Structure 1
Amino acid sequence: MGRMTFVELFLCFSAGALMVHAEDPYHFFEWNVTYGTIAPLGVPQQGILINGQFPGPKINCTSNNNIVVNVFNNLDEPFLLTWNGVQHRKNSWQDGTLGTMCPILPGKNFTYHFQVKDQIGSFYYFPTTGLHKASGAIGGLQVHSRDLIPVPFDNPADEYFLLLGDWYNKGHKSLKKQLDSGRSIGRPDGIHINGKSGKVSDKASEPLYTVESGKTYRCRVCNVGMRTSVNFRLQGHTLKLVEMEGSHTVQNVYDSLDLHVGQCLSVLVTANQVPKDYYFVVSSRFAQHPLSSVAIIRYLNGNGPASPELPLSPPDNTEGIAWSINQFRSFRWNLTASAARPNPQGSYHYGQINITRTIKLANSRSYVDGKLRFGLNGVSHVDSETPLKLAEYFGASDKVFKYDIIKDEPPQDNTKLILAPNVLNATFRNFVEIIFENHERTIQTYHLDGYSFFAVAIEPGRWSPEKRKNYNLLDAVSRHNIQVYPNSWAAVMTTLDNAGMWSLRSEMWERVYLGQQLYFSVLSPARSLRDEYNLPDNTPLCGIVPGLPLPPPYTA
């Protein structure tokens, strides 16, 4: 496909590809994905850049805006981007996973088109193909409230996006080769903050951001790493939590915050200290080999370097796990704040809805034919040449995968893994409870595409039905990522009202690549455009789909 101008793109999409309302504004982006030399930990290596940048360009938009991103793949491998936390209402065609889309082939381009429908908050994008996430192509995506929707805090003086994460000095090709050979990628080499790693008393360091005395700033912070939970803090300052993955929160104040892989949040920071430099500190959590990094926050017209005495991280032992669980329990949905719509967040009484299905998922680590694999309930997912969504849409699913190989309860022996596409058949608009049980000694995090869920409980031990009495059924935060501590469980609840094929996966990318994921197939019985969009005209076809007759389109 040749290059298209933004006007041509607009005409193409306005012809009815997604049937969005004309009054909702459009934002057009053209991104060139290339290799380039980067050095997040000071070691030069091949990275993946978007328009020559790492981190990539930030998408700054408003609720209900239409986002059009024309991505040109100049790599020597297929490539896809996903939009972590963006719900893609009725539109899993744009989800950017190998279960929903054919990858963008080298030298080709694909134009994503999605609407941030009824959403606000802090999100990010990243590549889902291979181990590309380990080498870059990651950037922030922030969705503001519309002007007529009140926000529960004063406008900040400025907004800053901070992308944090562990990093490997080996490139994505070397890491992929390790996994393909049956070995783990091992522990990371360090932690980066917006693509750089800093050390205390490094006089050559430029400030990450500059602030003015007396002003308050919004910091949107995401953990975009491969496997490591982190704790972040700002020397001498407190952090007021105001938003988490698209939901306004009760505005508690913290000295530091844990942030697990895949998670995003917003804090307000007031520059109310002596004008000088201060360290923003990020350190690993629940890791046997501690890692840390610092960046400088500089007061305008300040005088003096940052103190080498860094604020302490929470204790990283049994008490440290309890500390982090207690912090999770302190997070509350702000019931009086408006969401992306005028009605308050608390107008949705999720705790009064009857559960129609309980799905308990247990992760496992095992070896199959001498090679390391990960799984859920005895199934280790394998991507097929034909994306699952395309196979289902064209009526060829029986040639690509079987529904419900995975069961709603883990098997007695969860260490024996079946390698196959892992698809759960779900009932449209069912209200489901998902229990994540972690029987391993390492922390886990999970993400569900296409939805937000209510994170109602996290506790040590094993889940049982009587644990429901400990659920927060009033003001649990609506979010799309949940951590599960070692030998613990977590419970979430959601309504499966977004038709499509949606990825539920570990956020540890080694585990995703080696099978710790599944897909929810949520079909609308009505085959109506009110529930799901038709296949976009620009969708590339691959696998067994090319040449098959196009199914009858969904109707109004």
Structure 2
Amino acid sequence: MGRINLVLFSLLSCVSTFVTVHCEDPYLFFTWNVTYATLSPLGVPQQVILINGQFPGPKINCTSNNNIVVNVFNNLDEPFLFTWNGIQQRKNSWQEGTLGTTCPIPPGKNFTYHFQVKDQIGSFFYHATTALHHAAGAYGPIHVHSRDLIPVPFDRPEDEYDVLVGDWYTKGHSTLKRLLDSGRTLARADGVLINGKAGSTKGENEPTFTMIPGKTYRYRFCNVGMKNSINVRIQGHTMKLVEIEGSHTVQNVYDSLDVHLGQCYSVLVTANQEPKAYYLVASTRFTKTVLTSTATIRYSGSTGPASPELPKGPVGWAWSLNQFRPFRWNLTASAARPNPQGSYHYGQIRAWSLNQFRSFRWNLTASAARPNPQGSYHYGQINITRTIKLVNSAGKVDGKLRYAINGISHENTETPLKLAEYFGVADKIFKYDLLKDEPPTDTEQISIAPNVINATFRNFVEIIFENHEKSVQSWHLAGYAFFAVAIEPGKWTPDKRKNYNLLDAVSRNTIQVYPKSWAAIMTTLDNAGMWILRSMISERKYLGQQLYISVLSPARSLRDEYNIPDNDPLCGIVKDLPMPKPYTA
């Protein structure tokens, strides 16, 4: 819809009755046609999913509180769904687009998503959640800008660039799905894509970005891959971090950044070098064989080639925990010293290293949308009401590979869990709380079942992810922003809370867990609905490493949760049931 039509629609949405005026927030309308096509992202022809003929898909560019309406036409030969990674869907898990909340769109049919980016800003992306469609593309960027009246803690950049990075397989999505269904794991990826292309230092098939000398640009990095963490860096330039998944950050400067699966980072890059071309480099992390791709950044008006010598990426997972080490205190400068006097000889008292994760801090002085409930950014002063400890594991069930959380491997059901709950037939589809807050002693013993935990509305919960494996894990919680308060090696115990960042941890939606390590997050469960907590590693999610958190409002009120949309498709055992009595104000 054009800008004039959008404004007219917004004006018509305002209803005036005498002196009372109600005006809805602006609407943005999109129509997407989802189709197959044969492309060769890594030089091998394969089936790729396009959205309006594009790979990656079109950008959703919106402003905080906008209403987003996306009419999706499924022209594939199998059911399909999108999810909106990081968009909180306040009171509206009906629009989350997962198999636990929504019936998939049948082939040849359409479904209209309608959600509001309420009290959010930042960098996010959408992607497919059905089958292994994510391995065929079906993803794209989401920008949520601050409203004009809310100041941003950096000058408006000259331009913004999306950099969707991720690993890629030359085997098609159907072949990869058959491998997992047969009980096997996926091998290592075949390459890395940047915005759907695999670049090379020969300038072949390479994404390009242009910068005007002296100007500053915003690069929005998102890891949209399937299996691997990605390190990003720009030849000859530093990156000033300004935002992570909806939160303005303290503006530290980095030579490179690890972007784990599902994560998004915004950085500012200034064109302050010799006017020529430079390489943007993306390479896999924590892999025996490092896969690398490049894009070209060219200064406008220049003709000089980029140096073929690419900036080297970090080696080993310990680097990611220790990236902060290059930041050194100037011990020769005259200045006030911290107390106690002499503590700048700290190496003689206690040695410890900071890490990249710890260097990410929330910018508490920036004006921006804050997480709900208002005031929860004082999270360190809220009493924890529940601690849930989650341990990921892998094992065989009936000779086939499955992934689990606390010994439970999730199984999707024909009737979405949210629909079963709403129609009052949950007991016929699943049992609550098969997963316990404390993992069993033997997490290698795996059971397959729908995995749903019952949570109390507005409780403040602590979730611990404990990774006993040798690979990096990445976890995403839908419907919420959480405070990522700690990542440390070893096993978690309650006394580890003394190491939490309870002041300015970044509010975000995805967190990594390093090998043989743990991570802790905190959030208030104030968003009623059915919300997925999932591994962002595609094969792990597909083979069961996910769960749903049911957060029901005792009031059953529209103040807490919306009714099922009129256009919501019904499937499974609820298809022919009478509609429940709707919630009221």
Mapped to 2, the partners of 1:303 and 1:206 lie a distance apart of: 16
SS in 1 for 2:355: helix
Mapped to 2, the partners of 1:203 and 1:388 lie a distance apart of: 48
Mapped to 2, the partners of 1:68 and 1:401 lie a distance apart of: 32
SS in 2 for 1:348: helix
Deviation at 1:549, TM superposition (A): 1.9
SS in 2 for 1:544: helix
Q: Which moved more, 1:308-317 or 1:320-329?
A: 320-329
Mapped to 2, the partners of 1:317 and 1:147 lie a distance apart of: 41
SS in 2 for 1:389: helix
Answer yes or no: is 1:198 the counterpart of 2:227. no
Deviation at 1:546, TM superposition (A): 1.4
Mapped to 1, the partners of 2:505 and 2:170 lie a distance apart of: 38
Deviations 1:232-287, CA, capped at 9 Å, x for gaps: 00000000000000000000000000000000010000000101000000111111
Gaps of 5+ in 1: 1-5, 16-20
What is residue 154 of structure 2 aligned with on the other side? 153
Say if 1:470 and 1:72 are closer, same or farther in 2 by CA, change over 3 A. same
Residue identity opposite 1:228 in structure 2: N
Deviation at 1:42, TM superposition (A): 2.0
Mapped to 2, the partners of 1:255 and 1:483 lie a distance apart of: 20
CA contact (8 A) 2:194 2:207 kept: no
SS in 2 for 1:349: helix
What is residue 3 of structure 1 aligned with on the other side? none
Mapped to 2, the partners of 1:401 and 1:148 lie a distance apart of: 47
Deviation at 1:208, TM superposition (A): 1.4
Mapped to 1, the partners of 2:90 and 2:395 lie a distance apart of: 36
CA contact (8 A) 2:258 2:320 kept: no
Superposition pairs of residues 402-551 of structure 1, within 5 angstroms? 402-551=431-580
**Structural RMSD (CA):** 2.0
CA contact (8 A) 1:401 1:421 kept: yes
CA contact (8 A) 1:100 1:388 kept: yes
What is residue 332 of structure 2 aligned with on the other side? none
What is residue 376 of structure 1 aligned with on the other side? 405
SS in 2 for 1:175: helix
Answer yes or no: is 1:185 the counterpart of 2:186. yes
Answer yes or no: is 1:355 the counterpart of 2:356. no
What is residue 385 of structure 1 aligned with on the other side? 414
Mapped to 2, the partners of 1:123 and 1:320 lie a distance apart of: 23
Q: Which moved more, 1:27-36 or 1:283-292?
A: 283-292
CA contact (8 A) 1:346 1:475 kept: no
What is residue 348 of structure 2 aligned with on the other side? none
Mapped to 1, the partners of 2:493 and 2:358 lie a distance apart of: 19
Number of equivalenced pairs: 542
What is residue 144 of structure 2 aligned with on the other side? 143
Answer yes or no: is 1:162 the counterpart of 2:191. no
Mapped to 1, the partners of 2:49 and 2:41 lie a distance apart of: 12
Percent sequence identity over matched residues?
73
Deviation at 1:87, TM superposition (A): 0.1
Say if 1:368 and 1:342 are closer, same or farther in 2 by CA, change over 3 A. closer
Deviations 1:283-313, CA, capped at 9 Å, x for gaps: 1111122111111011101131100111111
SS in 1 for 2:179: helix
Residue identity opposite 1:216 in structure 2: T
Q: Normalising by structure 1, report the TM-score.
A: 0.95
Mapped to 2, the partners of 1:327 and 1:101 lie a distance apart of: 37
Superposition pairs of residues 196-275 of structure 1, within 5 angstroms? 196-200=197-201, 202-205=202-205, 208-275=208-275
Deviation at 1:207, TM superposition (A): 5.1
CA contact (8 A) 2:197 2:206 kept: no
Deviation at 1:316, TM superposition (A): 2.1
Deviation at 1:338, TM superposition (A): 1.1
Mapped to 2, the partners of 1:196 and 1:49 lie a distance apart of: 14
Mapped to 2, the partners of 1:500 and 1:110 lie a distance apart of: 20
Deviation at 1:432, TM superposition (A): 0.1
Deviations 1:17-76, CA, capped at 9 Å, x for gaps: xxxx74300000000000001222122211000001100000000000000000000000
Deviation at 1:323, TM superposition (A): 3.9
Deviation at 1:340, TM superposition (A): 2.2
Deviations 1:320-370, CA, capped at 9 Å, x for gaps: 554487011000000000112699x98720000000000000000101011
What is residue 316 of structure 1 aligned with on the other side? 316
Mapped to 2, the partners of 1:139 and 1:319 lie a distance apart of: 30
Residue identity opposite 1:423 in structure 2: V
Mapped to 2, the partners of 1:207 and 1:89 lie a distance apart of: 36
CA contact (8 A) 1:321 1:485 kept: no
What is residue 99 of structure 1 aligned with on the other side? 100
CA contact (8 A) 1:241 1:266 kept: yes
Mapped to 2, the partners of 1:321 and 1:63 lie a distance apart of: 33
Q: Which moved more, 1:216-225 or 1:312-321?
A: 312-321
Mapped to 2, the partners of 1:451 and 1:174 lie a distance apart of: 34
CA contact (8 A) 2:25 2:65 kept: yes
Residue identity opposite 1:393 in structure 2: Y
Q: Which moved more, 1:298-307 or 1:316-325?
A: 316-325
Mapped to 2, the partners of 1:39 and 1:363 lie a distance apart of: 35
Deviation at 1:199, TM superposition (A): 1.3
Mapped to 2, the partners of 1:374 and 1:24 lie a distance apart of: 42
Residue identity opposite 1:551 in structure 2: P
Gaps of 5+ in 2: 15-21, 325-353
CA contact (8 A) 1:434 1:493 kept: yes
What is residue 118 of structure 1 aligned with on the other side? 119
Mapped to 2, the partners of 1:318 and 1:219 lie a distance apart of: 26
Mapped to 1, the partners of 2:319 and 2:232 lie a distance apart of: 18
Mapped to 2, the partners of 1:511 and 1:196 lie a distance apart of: 25
Mapped to 2, the partners of 1:395 and 1:317 lie a distance apart of: 47
